[in-house]
Amino acid sequence: MIAERLREWFDSHVAGMRAAVTRDRRVMEVVRVPEPGSPGSGEVLVRPEAVELCGSDFHYFLGDIGTIEDASTLYPRIQGHEASATILEVGADCPPALAPGLRVALWPVSACGRCYACRVGRGNACANISLIGVHVDGALQEQLVVPAAQVFPVGDRDPALTALVEPVSIAVRTVVRGRVASGERVVVFGAGPIGQAVALAATDRGASVLLVDTLASRLQRAGEVGADVLQVGTDDDLAAAAREWAGEDGPEVVVDATGVPVLVQAAVELVAQAGRVVVVGLSGDPAPVRVGDLPLKEIDVLGVSCCGSGEFAEAVDLVGRRSKAASGLVTHEFTLEQAPEAIVYALEHPAEVLKAVVRLDPA
Ligand SMILES: [Zn+2]
Ligand SMILES: [Zn+2]
């Protein structure tokens, strides 16, 4: 009996490694779990160093995932898809460039290779997609085995900056989908981390960007990414103000990084004739758009989910070149023990927290 109790105590306090497990809606706890062991062929064992939290983590934590019907199938799950890690061990048949000690950014996307999206080279929109931290356990734990194809060496960069590669990769995908070109005018709704990352990726391509938000605190931080800003209240005429900025034709590209249905409607109205609307914000709600705007303006309305591997590599480069602007997105730091507190705090303080990072202890 005593031996059994002792073993239980040992397992929960000493053995294994620490992980922040999301057990149920709004329930995350840091516990000990078994270590994953050595990597198999084509895999690497990594030690996460920094994990950032984003809007989709909040959706998962709240059980509010539009695309997964039954929320009870979500848990338990170790979250964390925006991560910096160091390689601990490299399995057989991995690229020779991968070696223990290297710092990498995790590309969370794994695709089936068989569905229509995969067959046309868009595995990031795979019908059977598997994302680290969403469909399989993520980086809020001390060790993790991942396919070698999903780690991108970044050189000697701060882990919190490295973890930003993932959200920035969504922004790279957004400007690629929106075909943002030098000299164009881009209006971005939402100055949260994704909106600001889109502004960074668009200004990097030589576009002019107007970031629109209701929160002054978010817009205050936006200057660094080289965007103009517009703070709006609920009663303001957003379209008129944005048109004044963009000129008579309207902006060539409008990006919605909020998921607020009326803003998708506003984007369709605001965008120039023959322009592009890119929707990256998530929501389960319908957005009313004037149907005639689509044919009469001949606009493209495009969705963005995750990015492809080439865009992830572009994001590694962009974060390196614009490191000062990018690192300004990280506003709060927590430890792994504080991860449950971090997700609740970030969720409940959107005006204050732009990006919260969970830093894990070094090996
Ligand atoms: Zn994210
Ligand atoms: Zn597929």
What whole-number distance in Å separates Cα of residue 268 and Cα of residue 308? 26
pLDDT in tens, 80-106: 999 999 999 999 999 999 999 999 999
Segments of the chain scoring below 70 in pLDDT:
1, 7-13, 66-71, 363
CB atoms within 10 A of CB 341: 13
Strand 276-279 versus strand 253-256 pairing type? parallel
| End-to-end Cα distance, the chain | 35
Burial category of 325 from C-beta neighbours within 10 Å (exposed 0-12, middle 13-18, buried 19 and up): buried
- What is the distance between the alpha carbons of residues 108 and 135, in angstroms, rounded to a whole number? 10
pLDDT of residue 119: 98
C-alpha 167 – ligand 1 centre gap (Å): 6
Q: What is the pLDDT of residue 87?
A: 98
Rounded CA separation 54/134 (Å)? 12
pLDDT of residue 4: 76
Q: What single letter denotes the amino acid at residue 164? A: L
Rounded distance from Cα 75 to ligand 2 centre (Å):
24
pLDDT of residue 98: 98
pLDDT tens string 244-267:
999 999 999 999 999 999 999 999
Q: What is the whole-number distance in angstroms between the Cα of residue 264 and the centre of ligand 2?
A: 27
The bound ligand whose nearest atom lies closest to the alpha carbon of 127 is 2
Query: With contact defined as beta carbons under 8 Å apart, do 227 and 259 qualify?
Result: no
CA 357 / ligand 1 centre spacing (Å)? 12
Q: With beta carbons less than 8 A apart as the criterion, state whether 282 and 68 touch.
A: no
Question: How far is residue 141's CA from residue 116's CA, in Å, rounded to a whole number?
Answer: 34
CA pair distance 339, 327, nearest whole angstrom: 20
Decide: 58 and 81 in contact? Cβ < 8 Å.
no
From 361, 359, 342, select the one nearest 57 (Cα to Cα). 342
Q: Read out DSSP for 210-269?
A: EEEES-HHHHHGGGGGT-EEEE--TTS-HHHHHHHHH-TT--SEEEE-S--HHHHHHHHH
Distance 124 CA to ligand 1 centre (A): 14
Bond preceding residue 76 cis, omega within 30 of 0: yes
CA–centroid distance, 272 to ligand 1, in Å, is 30
Asked whether the whole model's pTM tops 0.85, one would answer yes
Q: How many A from CA of 272 to the centre of ligand 2?
A: 34
Tokens found for residue 23: 């057990």
For residue 123, report the distance from its CA to the centre of ligand 2, in Å.
6
279's CB contacts (< 8 A; 6+ apart) are: 255, 256, 264, 267, 301, 302, 303, 304
CA of 71 to the centre of ligand 2 (A): 23
Token pair for 217:
């605190």
Which pLDDT belongs to residue 73? 81
Cα 54 to ligand 1 centroid, rounded to whole Å: 5
Cα angle value 165/166/172 (rounded, 5°): 80
Ligand 2 centroid, distance to 349 Cα (angstroms): 36
Ligand with smallest separation from the Cα of 129: 2
pLDDT at 300: 98
**Contact by Cβ (8 Å): 55, 194:** yes
